[in-house]
Structure 1
Amino acid sequence: MCNKRLDVKEIMEIIPHRYPFLFVDYIEELEEGKSAVGYKNVTMNEYFFQGHFPGEPVMPGVIMIEALAQVGAVALLSLDEFKGKIAYFGGIRKAKFRRKVTPGDTLKLQVEIINRKGPAGIGKAIASVNGETAVEAELIFAVGV
């Protein structure tokens, strides 16, 4: 396990996402090709709060899933064999949304690659706030060009 913290510039060297679609502020733990733990500091300045929902800001579930996928992509694309490539969604299974995420929350994003065959596989993903699960899912991925 690498306990070196990756800042946002280092994350952008690994995955191609940029504002306004980069949803990971930093990586706290990284085991290349196996797992990663990252964080998203949720603020009222997020563009999606303009319409989701006026007067009741709630982080969209699909954005939480995307944030988890980006953390999983950091774990995968940090492998030498995948450097410079893109990880694509192949599917989402068993997604359960358990808690609202609102401005002021820090979203902990944990992804463990539980099955991989070549450039495809499955990641077990959990996002939580203060130890309370917000969403969990299995993310199916394929690494492409």
Structure 2
Amino acid sequence: MFDIPSVIPHRYPFLMIDRITAIEQGKWVKGYKNVTWNEWYITESHQCMPSMMIVEALAQLGAFATIEQEKSLGFLSSISGVEILGEAYPGDRIELFYEVVKNRRGFVLGRGEATVEDKVIIRAEEIMIYIQKSTEG
């Protein structure tokens, strides 16, 4: 459906989204991340996906929604108003949603939400991404 590696540069083990399921370019995007036992951050003593990795997944999703040109890069610039309301464990599918609030001069401000089985586990009121446009031809 959507070729994620052609839009954002992240690769395993730092690619935090598995699939884009719907998008309205420049406005919002939906996707998901399947959490498995094979994730590098899942250990015997820590058996859930770290909350900040889920925030990173939301930022990656946001960059995908706003990058209009291949070879552009999106960088997580800042976050604010993050609420951690639950956790995601191996076997869970994290549904991700990012909505663009403002897009000015390469800075994209949006909000995001991550859910597992229709229960919100992470809510971020502000996720700012800086989009660096390619200077190649």
TM over 0.5: yes
Aligned residue for 1:47? 40
Q: Between the two proteins, what is the percent identity of the paired residues? A: 33
Cα distance between partner residues in 2 of 1:63 and 1:39: 13
The gaps in structure 1 that reach 5 residues or longer are: none
Counterpart amino acid of 1:13?
Answer: S
Mapped contact 2:83–2:123 kept (Cα < 8 A)? yes
Residue 28 of structure 1 pairs with residue 16 of structure 2: no
> Secondary structure in 1 aligned to 2:12?
coil
The structural deviation recorded for 1:58 is: 1.1
Runs of 4+ more than 6 Å apart: none
Cα distance between partner residues in 2 of 1:92 and 1:124: 9
What CA deviation, in whole Å up to 9, does each residue of 1:83-141 have, x standing for no partner? 32111122100000001110110000100001111211211100001110010112011
Over the residues paired in the alignment, what is the CA RMSD in angstroms? 1.2
Aligned residue for 1:12? 5
Residue 111 of structure 1 pairs with residue 104 of structure 2: no
- Give the structure with the higher percent helix: 1
Cα distance between partner residues in 1 of 2:49 and 2:100: 25
The gaps in structure 2 that reach 5 residues or longer are: none
Cα distance between partner residues in 2 of 1:76 and 1:84: 13
Residue 57 of structure 1 pairs with residue 47 of structure 2: yes
What CA deviation, in whole Å up to 9, does each residue of 1:39-81 have, x standing for no partner? 101111111012xxx245011011000111111111011x2xx
Aligned residue for 1:96? 83
Call closer, same or farther: CA 1:56–1:20 in 2, change over 3 Å: closer
> Secondary structure in 2 aligned to 1:18?
coil
The structural deviation recorded for 1:21 is: 0.6
In structure 2, which of residues 100, 107, 110 is the aligned counterpart of residue 120 of structure 1? 107
> Secondary structure in 2 aligned to 1:89?
strand
Aligned residue for 1:84? 71
Cα distance between partner residues in 1 of 2:107 and 2:123: 20
Cα distance between partner residues in 2 of 1:65 and 1:89: 10
The structural deviation recorded for 1:143 is: 0.8
